[in-house]
């Protein structure tokens, strides 16, 4: 469902150009749980932004659910983004003046029409991430882990089939990070495709497949076994 063929992303112009992603071939099937690793500057965020249609390849083909992304105009691209993809970032990017419920409802503003029962749906998502008692709390009144859970609920409001997360546990203590990973695991068990960028080998080990980048190229791409001799 996610297919990249010879994708490159070059920033700037020669002779000062930066080749962030170089001739990358990669495909990810529906329902996979993938960790993207690699040193700082290896192109992880660039790749995630390409997968998430926040950015376009400089060259190569990107097919998302059989749609050729490079052929879409900006309006079509943002529709795909809204319908298919949910984003979670290291900085939670919540609006400080809005309470948790309103933050979760925010992506619905961009829908063609405001769906019925929007606030009930947002409330249910917050309950599902363990924040049923915090609907009216503003971000400043929540812990980091709680804020990230609000951000996850927000990413889910349009029922995306793909969840993309860039260092989602990077700003969290170990325990909160574990809670966030439990949620991603549950989402994946429910059939969603989950792609996480991380520096942390422990975070990556909870995925089912590990892709390692180096200098914008694929260094390795391997399945992760759960237990010794278990499913790989």
Q: Which residues bind ligand ATP (CB under 6 A)?
A: 11-12, 18, 20, 38, 40-46
Phi, psi of 176 (to 5 degrees): -65, -40
How far apart are the two ends of the chain, measured CA to CA in Å? 21
Nearer to ligand ATP, 44 or 192 (CB): 44
In residues, how long is the chain? 232
Q: Which stretch binds Mg ion (CB under 5 A): 12-20, 39-47, 123-131, 170-178?
A: 39-47
Nearer to Mg ion, 51 or 131 (CB): 51
Report, in Å, the least distance between residue 114 CB and Mg ion.
34
User: Is 103 a binder of Mg ion (CB under 5 A)?
Assistant: no
User: Is 45 a binder of Mg ion (CB under 5 A)?
Assistant: yes
Nearer to Mg ion, 45 or 146 (CB): 45
Nearest CA to 1 out of 35, 27, 40, 19 is that of 27
Q: How many residues bind Mg ion (CB under 5 A)?
A: 1
Nearer to Mg ion, 38 or 123 (CB): 38
Nearer to ligand ATP, 37 or 153 (CB): 37
Report, in Å, the least distance between residue 45 CB and Mg ion.
3
Report, in Å, the least distance between residue 159 CB and ligand ATP.
27
C-alpha torsion angle, residues 96, 100, 104, 105 (rounded to 10): -90
Report, in Å, the least distance between residue 123 CB and ligand ATP.
34
User: Is 176 a binder of Mg ion (CB under 5 A)?
Assistant: no
Nearer to ligand ATP, 106 or 217 (CB): 217
Integer Cα distance of 128 and 135 in angstroms: 12
Contact partner, 43, from ligand ATP, Mg ion, none, Cβ < 5-8 Å per class:
ligand ATP
111 touches 157 (CB < 8 A)? no
Contact partner, 18, from ligand ATP, Mg ion, none, Cβ < 5-8 Å per class:
ligand ATP
Which residue intervals of 54-198 are DSSP H helices?
74-84, 100-105, 118-128, 144-156, 174-189
138 touches 146 (CB < 8 A)? no
Structure tokens that stand for 46 in this block: 């660039």
Nearest CA to 156 out of 114, 189, 128 is that of 128
User: Is 42 a binder of Mg ion (CB under 5 A)?
Assistant: no
Cβ neighbours of residue 186 closer than 8 Å, sequence gap 6 or more: none
Measured at CB, which residue is nearest to Mg ion? 45
54 touches 69 (CB < 8 A)? no
List interacting residues with Mg ion (CB under 5 A): 45
């Amino acid at each position: 469902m996610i297919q990249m063929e010879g994708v490159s992303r070059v920033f700037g112009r020669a002779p000062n150009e930066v080749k962030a992603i170089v001739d990358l071939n990669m495909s990810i099937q529906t329902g996979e749980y993938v960790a993207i690793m690699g040193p700082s500057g290896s192109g992880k965020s660039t790749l995630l932004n390409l997968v998430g249609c926040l950015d376009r390849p400089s060259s190569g083909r990107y097919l998302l659910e059989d749609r050729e992304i490079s052929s879409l105009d900006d309006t079509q691209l943002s529709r795909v983004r809204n319908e298919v993809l949910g984003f979670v970032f290291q900085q939670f990017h919540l609006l400080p003046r809005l309470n948790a419920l309103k933050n979760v409802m925010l992506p619905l503003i961009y829908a063609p029409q405001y769906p019925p029962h929007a606030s009930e749906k947002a409330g249910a998502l917050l309950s599902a991430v363990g924040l049923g008692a915090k609907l009216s709390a503003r971000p400043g009144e929540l812990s980091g882990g709680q804020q990230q859970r609000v951000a996850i609920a927000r990413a889910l409001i349009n029922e995306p089939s793909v969840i993309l997360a860039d260092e989602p546990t990077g700003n969290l203590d170990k325990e909160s990070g574990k809670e966030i990973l439990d949620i991603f695991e549950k989402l994946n068990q429910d059939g969603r495709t989950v792609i996480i960028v991380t520096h942390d080998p422990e975070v990556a080990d909870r995925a089912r497949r590990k892709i390692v980048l180096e200098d914008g190229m694929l260094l390795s791409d391997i399945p992760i076994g759960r237990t010794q001799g278990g499913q790989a």
